[in-house]
Amino acid sequence: MKLKKASSGPEKIPIDMTPMIDCVFQLIIFFMLTLKIRANEGDFNINMPLGAGVGQSAELPPIKVRLEANPDGTLRSVGLGRQSLGNDARAFGLLNQEVLGLVGRPGAAFSKDIEVEIDADYELHYQHVVSAMTACTGRLDPKTKEPIRFVEKIKFAPPRPKKPE
């Protein structure tokens, strides 16, 4: 009777990768099917200034929003037309209400023709410009959490020269 030689170490067991690859593909398919795609936050239709001498494309005059900055870039005041709305977080809430008052009701037929022109100081922090854009475009419905649009078009006034110190 012949005996097998004693092996010098443990035998290698082959690992079958096929079941693991199947599980990975099933997980990928599961996550793809359960993904809910939402509209991007901050998706604004913005018209940048074209240059001096170019006329308005809309028949209605734009709603003018003025954002003034302190020398350090903080917000000094928010204005709508000639009306001052303040310089804190409530000012953007007031701006939202005033724009809604000028537009009438959200989704009106002429609301797509209304333009908001934001005139911000050169040294103003960007977060205040974004807050003004958000306040002008609309708000979230408190019940459904869906956005209600007031204005579709936002443009920026040509930049003012930096103030000498």
pLDDT tens-digit map of 93-139: 888 888 888 877 665 655 667 888 888 888 888 888 888 888 888 87
Residue 86 pLDDT class (50, 70, 90 cuts): confident
Do residues 137 and 149 lie in contact, with contact meaning Cβ atoms separated by under 8 Å? yes
Residue of 75, 32, 46 lying closest to 134 (CA atoms):
46
77 within domain boundaries: yes
86 within domain boundaries: yes
74 within domain boundaries: yes
Do residues 165 and 122 lie in contact, with contact meaning Cβ atoms separated by under 8 Å? no
27 within domain boundaries: no
87 within domain boundaries: yes
112 within domain boundaries: yes
pLDDT score recorded for residue 56: 46
3 within domain boundaries: no
Task: Give 53: exposed, middle or buried? Use CB within 10 Å, 0-12, 13-18, 19+.
Answer: exposed
Do residues 126 and 117 lie in contact, with contact meaning Cβ atoms separated by under 8 Å? no
Nearest-5° angle of CA 96, CA 100, CA 103?
A: 140
Q: Who contacts 60 (Cβ-Cβ below 8 Å, separation ≥6)? A: 110, 113, 114, 115
65 within domain boundaries: yes
Q: How many folded domains does the chain comprise?
A: 1
pLDDT score recorded for residue 29: 95
Residue of 82, 106, 77, 104 lying closest to 92 (CA atoms):
77
Structural domain range at position 79: 60-156
Task: Give 91: exposed, middle or buried? Use CB within 10 Å, 0-12, 13-18, 19+.
Answer: buried
CA gap 103, 111 in Å, rounded? 6
pLDDT digits (tens, 9 = 90+) for 41-82: 665 666 666 665 544 444 678 888 888 888 888 888 888 888
> Whole-prediction pTM value?
0.57
